[in-house]
């Protein structure tokens, strides 16, 4: 248990170190998706559609997917013009590939590659307008400059040279507190038996539920052990009196009822455990 918790704290420490790096990557990814969405919006404006919308940008196998709300008919030049306009304005992406695919057939009906500054030899020839249909546009970024946006401060920043000792100190305090709590809690013993969500320590005469310990008398221990050894079976009153009290009689019979009530109270935290009175016969420990 000690080794496990130490590994957990070490893992948490490294997670805290890596969080800024992940935040930086997420921010950069969001920024690139915004650029790709701008291309989709600009394309719709280029073809004179100011009412349709671009669906949320997805990234699939390294390519950004631009999807449109409606079927479109357009000249491929409009798509290339929109991409070039946005890319040159944002000054982030240096080279890219755009592929237009038919939604139904998944056939690539148009594609082109561009490197900034524009190499005219890589631009597509002017083509006829594509018929009205559903089209998906895949945008693949080949090269881009690291985006200059406000990023979370890295934990290793020289502005906060004390951050590592502070984190280590906090984690150690948490670990010590957790360890002390566990030290006070009952330690697992392989000789204990499970009764529902309880653990029954016959030798130590204890009943354990989560982190709490209930002391049992010797008679309560023997009675519970007898009922548990015959779980879901009826144990006759005379058998209980003989095995637990080694005697019979009206006085001991009433004592048995009192001890049954005590056990019921100590087991009441688990609603699936019942000690049922089989009238005129005896008692049965029922585990659902």
pLDDT tens readout for residues 57-107 = 999 888 999 999 889 888 888 888 888 898 888 888 888 999 999 999 999
139 to 48, 86, 154, 158: CA distances (angstroms):
22, 13, 31, 38
pLDDT value of position 25: 65
> Which of 122, 29, 128 has the alpha carbon at shortest distance from 78?
128
pLDDT score recorded for residue 128: 73
Full domain range(s) for residue 224: 193-287
Location of structure tokens 């030798």: 203
Whole-angstrom distance, CA of residue 27 vs CA of residue 89: 20
Measured distance between the N- and C-terminal CA atoms of the chain, rounded to whole angstroms: 31
Last residue of a domain, one of 144, 163, 178: 144
Q: What is the pLDDT of residue 198?
A: 93
With residue 201 as reference, give the H or E element that holds it.
Answer: strand 198-201
- Do residues 9 and 140 share a domain? yes
Of 138 and 20, more confident: 138
CATH number at residue 201: 1.10.10.10
Q: Are residues 15 and 137 in the same domain?
A: yes
Using the predicted structure, report yes or no on whether residue 283 has a pLDDT greater than 90: yes
Is pLDDT larger for residue 162 or for residue 228?
228
Q: 172 lies in a domain? A: no
Into how many domains does the chain fold? 2
pTM of the shown model: 0.44
Q: What Rg, from alpha-carbon coordinates, does the chain have?
A: 37
Q: In the block, which residue shows the tokens 């237009």?
A: 100
Q: Which residue has the higher pLDDT, 14 or 50?
A: 50
> What is the C-alpha to C-alpha distance for residues 116 and 87, in angstroms, rounded to an integer?
9
pLDDT at 2 over 50: no
Q: What is the number of residues in the chain?
A: 288
Tell me which residue has tokens 């001991």: 252
Task: Return mean pLDDT, the chain.
Answer: 80
Average pLDDT estimate for 3-28: 56
What is the mean pLDDT of the segment spanning 152-179?
63
273 and 209 in a single domain? The answer is yes
What's residue 121's pLDDT?
43
Is the CB of residue 131 less than 8 Å from the CB of residue 76?
no
Answer whether residue 129 shows pLDDT above 50. Answer: yes
**Highest mean pLDDT range out of 7-21, 91-105, 124-138?**
91-105
Gap between the Cα atoms of 191 and 210, Å rounded: 17
The answer to whether residues 122 and 7 belong to one domain is: yes
Q: In this structure, is residue 165 part of a structural domain? A: no
Place of tokens 């798509």: 79
Averaged over 156-162, what is the pLDDT?
A: 52
**pLDDT in the model for residue 223:** 93
> Model confidence at 7, in pLDDT bands (50, 70, 90)?
low
- Domain-ending residue, one of 113, 144, 175: 144
Per the structure block, which two tokens stand in for 92? 């982030």
Residue 16: is its pLDDT beyond 80? Answer: no
Asked if the structure places residue 176 within a domain, the reply is no
Instruction: Using the predicted structure, report yes or no on whether residue 233 has a pLDDT greater than 90.
Output: yes
């Amino acid at each position: 248990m000690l080794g496990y918790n130490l590994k957990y704290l070490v893992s948490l420490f490294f997670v805290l170190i890596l969080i800024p790096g992940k935040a930086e990557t997420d921010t950069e990814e969001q920024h690139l998706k915004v650029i790709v969405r701008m291309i989709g919006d600009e394309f719709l404006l280029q073809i004179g559609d100011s009412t349709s919308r671009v669906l949320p940008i997805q990234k699939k196998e390294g390519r950004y997917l631009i999807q449109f709300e409606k079927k479109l008919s357009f000249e491929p030049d409009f798509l290339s013009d929109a991409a070039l306009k946005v890319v040159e304005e944002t000054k982030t992406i240096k080279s890219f590939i755009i592929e237009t695919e038919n939604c139904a057939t998944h056939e690539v009906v148009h594609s082109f590659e561009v490197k900034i500054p524009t190499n005219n030899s890589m631009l597509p020839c002017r083509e006829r307008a594509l018929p009205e249909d559903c089209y998906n546009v895949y945008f693949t970024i080949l090269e881009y400059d690291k985006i200059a946006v406000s990023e979370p401060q890295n934990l290793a920043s020289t502005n906060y040279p004390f951050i590592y000792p502070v984190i280590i100190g906090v984690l150690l305090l948490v670990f010590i507190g957790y360890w002390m709590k566990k030290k006070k809690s009952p330690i697992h013993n392989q000789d204990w038996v499970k009764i529902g969500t309880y653990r029954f320590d016959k030798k130590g005469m204890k009943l354990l539920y989560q982190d709490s310990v209930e002391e049992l008398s010797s008679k309560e221990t023997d009675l519970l052990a007898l009922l548990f050894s015959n779980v879901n079976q009826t144990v006759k009153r005379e058998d209980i009196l003989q095995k637990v009290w080694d005697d019979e009689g009206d006085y001991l019979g009433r004592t048995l009822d009192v001890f049954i009530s005590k056990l019921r109270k100590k087991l009441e935290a688990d609603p699936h455990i019942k000690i049922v009175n089989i009238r005129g016969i005896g008692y049965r420990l029922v585990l659902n």
